[in-house]
Structure 1
Amino acid sequence: MSQNILITGAAGYIGGSVLAAFISQETGALCTATLHAAVRSDEQVQALSKLGINIVKVDLDDEGAVRDVVLNNKIDIVVHTATSILPRPAAHLITALGERRKATGGHAYYIHTGIATMYSVEGGWKDGEVRDTDAIYEYDKEIEGMNPARQTSNVVVEQAAIHGVKSFNIVLPQIYGRGTGEWRKLSVNYPAFIRTSIEHKIVHKFDVDSNPPATHISDITTLYTLLTSACLQGTPISSGRSGYYFAVAHRAPQYLVMDLLARGLHERGLVSSPTARVWPSYDAAAKALGWPALYIKAMGTFSGELIPVNPGKVGWRPQWDEKRFLENIDEEIDAVKELDTVKSTLFANV
């Protein structure tokens, strides 16, 4: 029997690329599934209409509207990429899935999109290595001064347990590479650095040489594909409190990355110096990059020792490593020059 999948944030960088990956599948369980895409504007509906799937405009903060979308379209699986920091949309989606599950007597699945920054000292996490097979939910509950992304992750686990929905949390590091969706094709971090560097004619770096985890967008979409396929086939995989999946492929040494970007931008005549300089302050960095001042230090300097275990259990084998990333860093510059046409709304609610 065909199952119905709803992808939220389908006009975004992650959601659009995931949707494109699902559509491109020629074999396997996804070929028999019916895809539905949730977006926020009429313009986005029009942009995605060429895909030949059901595109719905919905306010995910509206519980009734979310319920109608899930129940009217008989959604069995939700892949939620629209936001990692707002608990209400996640709760609404899970509640509706629970109602759908009760009506059919079958299973319902919710795949969340989390943020790796939370699992670093800078993000309020404990020091040292953390595996996605550790008791993450229990540790998260003990942390005071909870940030929105952590709160949302906890809501996912709790609401899914209440409503009998199997939940999964794909925790994303810094992501790079050209998106394959129909609307937004650029990630957040590196395009922001490049865009700001061009505007100010100089590349800046933070006062800490961090070494954050990173993954190419194609490897990210592969993990979503594998996890969703496992749900479609009813494969028993870790979920709920054990359902964290660290989508970490390699490290991205920031001082080296910034120097490579400075060199590449200088060679193109876009900045005045081939070397990066330290930001005068975190406030200045937040203002220039358009990032929340409250989280700028964590976003700009976190490293974190995230060890992925669960992704390998579903067959995830990243194709991009640190060497390949650094050798192709100029592609990030070219992508911004060619594709920087849609303003990011990631921090609109922060």
Structure 2
Amino acid sequence: MIHLLVTGGSGYIGGEILAQLGGLVIPELQVFVTVRQDQHEVAVKEFPSGLFTPVRLDLSDKEAIKSFISENEIDVVFELTSAFNADIALPSIEALASCGAGKSYISMSSRSRHLYYCHSLNQKPQQRTDQRSQTLLSLRRLLHVKNPVR
């Protein structure tokens, strides 16, 4: 089973990623989505695919994130929170890095022109220019999905 953690799932890009993921039929996929508000938790639970599990997680707490990643065997973190708030992004990166090799981290922001992602934390980030299509392509590669999302 593939376990994803999506931070910032209630934002603009997060909503698009959830919509695309919701259209996939992958029985071995489990997606956890961080939420801060009750209304977002309800929306995540009621998403038509039933694929998503909302979680309340303090994204500024490295140890809490590390515990969550370990306990839920997270394979991929989609970091979709504000690009201008390092207090949120850095703990996620550090927590994932401390959980060992083989984990993937994808960071994306609507404020940036380019997407930088690491297939593994041991690789140098690569620059991507088309955020939406490259993120979905990366996701398909990670999940070994043969048919592209349209």
TM-score tier (shorter): 0.7 to 0.9
Counterpart in the other structure of 1:69: 68
Is 1:232 the counterpart of 2:138 in the alignment?
Answer: no
Deviations 1:33-85 (A, max 9, x none): 21111122222112211133211122312222222222221111011111212
Equivalent-residue separation in structure 1 for 2:75 and 2:135 (angstroms): 16
- Structure with a larger share of its residues in helix: 1
- Looking at structure 1, the residues matched to 142 and 92 of structure 2 have their Cα atoms a distance apart, in angstroms, of 17
Matched residues in 1 for 2:128 and 2:6: separation?
Answer: 14
Q: Counterpart in 1 of 2:30? A: 34
Deviation at 1:172, TM superposition (A): 6.7
- How big is the shift at 1:31? 5.0
Q: 1:11 to 1:25 in 2, by over 3 A?
A: same
Question: Which one has a larger percent strand, Structure 1 or Structure 2?
Answer: 2
* Deviation for aligned residue 1:8: 1.1
CA 1:36/1:228 → structure 2, altered by over 3 Å: closer, same or farther?
same
- SS of aligned partner of 2:99: helix
Distance, in Å, in 2 between the alignment partners of 1:84 and 1:31 is 32
| Aligned counterparts of 2:129 and 2:46: Cα–Cα separation in 1 | 30
Q: Judge conservation of contact 1:8–1:38 (CA < 8 Å) in 2.
A: yes
Q: What is the TM-score of this pair, normalised by structure 1? A: 0.35
Q: Kindly tell me: are residues 57 and 170 of structure 1, through their superposed partners in 2, closer, same or farther at Cα, counting changes over 3 Å?
A: farther
Q: Deviation at 1:24?
A: 0.7
Deviation at 1:21, TM superposition (A): 0.6
Structure 1 CA distance, aligned partners of 2:128 and 2:18?
A: 16
Q: CA offsets, 1:83-142, max 9 Å, x none?
A: 21222332222222223335xxxx1111111402xx8xxxxxxxxxxxx9xxxxxxxxxx
Runs of 4+, deviation exceeding 6 Å: none
Deviations 1:305-335 (A, max 9, x none): xxxxxxxxxx89xx9xxxxxxxxxxxxxxxx
Unmatched segments (≥5 aa) in structure 1: 120-131, 133-152, 174-219, 234-314, 320-350
Q: Which amino acid aligns with 2:138?
A: L
Q: CA deviation at 1:170?
A: 5.2
Does the CA-based 8 Å contact 2:66-2:99 persist in structure 1? no
Residue number in structure 1 paired with 2:43: 47
> How far apart, in 2, do the equivalents of 1:91 and 1:165 lie?
17
* Structure 2 residue 79 is the aligned partner of structure 1 residue 84: no
Paired residues, number:
142
Contact map agreement 2:44 2:53 (CA 8 A) in 1: no
Identity rate of aligned residues, in percent?
23
After superposition, the CA RMSD in angstroms is 3.2
Alignment deviations for residues 7-29 of structure 1 (CA, whole Å, 9 cap, x no partner) = 11111111011011112113xxx
Which letter does structure 2 place at the counterpart of 1:33? L
1:122 aligned residue: none
The equivalences for 1:116-265 within 5 A come to 116=113, 164=122, 167=125, 220=132, 222-233=133-144
Q: CA deviation at 1:171?
A: 5.5
**Which has more radius of gyration?**
1
- Corresponding residue for residue 295 of structure 1: none
